Amino acid sequence: SQTIHQWPATLVQPVGSPLSLECTVEGTSNPNLYWYRQAAGRGLQLLFYSVGIGQISSEVPQNLSASRPQDRQFILSSKKLLLSDSGFYLCAWRFRQGPGNTIYFGEGSWLTVV
Amino acid sequence: DAKTTQPNSMESNEEEPVHLPCNHSTISGTDYIHWYRQLPSQGPEYVIHGLTSNVNNRMASLAIAEDRKSSTLILHRATLRDAAVYYCILSTGAGSYQLTFGKGTKLSVIP
């Protein structure tokens, strides 16, 4: 069976500091990978998605970036955090074939920028 | 991208059926309709999905209008554990297969 893990679960970072959130998927290969963000009381915002190693598509221009150094590893980064980067970050994966496939989410990472 | 429209919130009494509506008037022929729900401080979880025909599973039923411009998620007997935000989303037929979530419907279940 497939599993998805992301970490850290919670972090508090000062404004201007760097960020690295990591996500890995086990039990499958060539998944589509996603990073979403959810601000307090808001819906889910798609930030990045990837259909393969080194292939990243950005949905929202901002000071965040994503990388996929390995097939089942997805990393969300920032060089300098802003207060507005606070939120609940979710990594997700999906089988590549077909729009009928389910998307599976990780446990989420709470980021508070102070 | 095809978008969906859902009521911001709904209430239901415990053990009664709940019908959560979703409008998607710009849906294309190859778009699947997905429903997910999100409990507080958790990632969304899959509920059900369909293309044209009504679908049933252990969690819920999905009723899709004949013209596919709307759908309804049916919880047959609401429990307190069903209190969550429910998202209706369309899965595009484009190669990226991205899923874009709206704000969803917050379902409150009254004991």
Spell out which chain A residues touch chain B, with contact meaning CB-CB distance below 8 angstroms.
32, 34, 36, 42-46, 49, 51, 57, 59, 88, 90, 92, 94, 96, 98-108, 110
| Cα gap A63→B83, rounded to integer Å | 35
Q: What is the pLDDT of residues A12-48, one digit of tens each?
A: 999 999 999 999 999 999 999 999 999 887 788 889 9
B95 pLDDT exceeds 60?
no
Interface size between A and B, measured as CB pairs under 8 A: 66
DSSP, collapsed to helix, strand or coil, labels residue B34 as strand
Q: What is the pLDDT of residues A46-63, one digit of tens each?
A: 899 998 999 999 888 689
Amino acid at A80: K
Nearest to A24 by CA among A3, A8, A46: A3
Burial B8-31 (b: 16+ CB within 10 A, else e): eebebeeeeebebebbbeebeeeb
Token pair of A8 as six digits: 């850290």
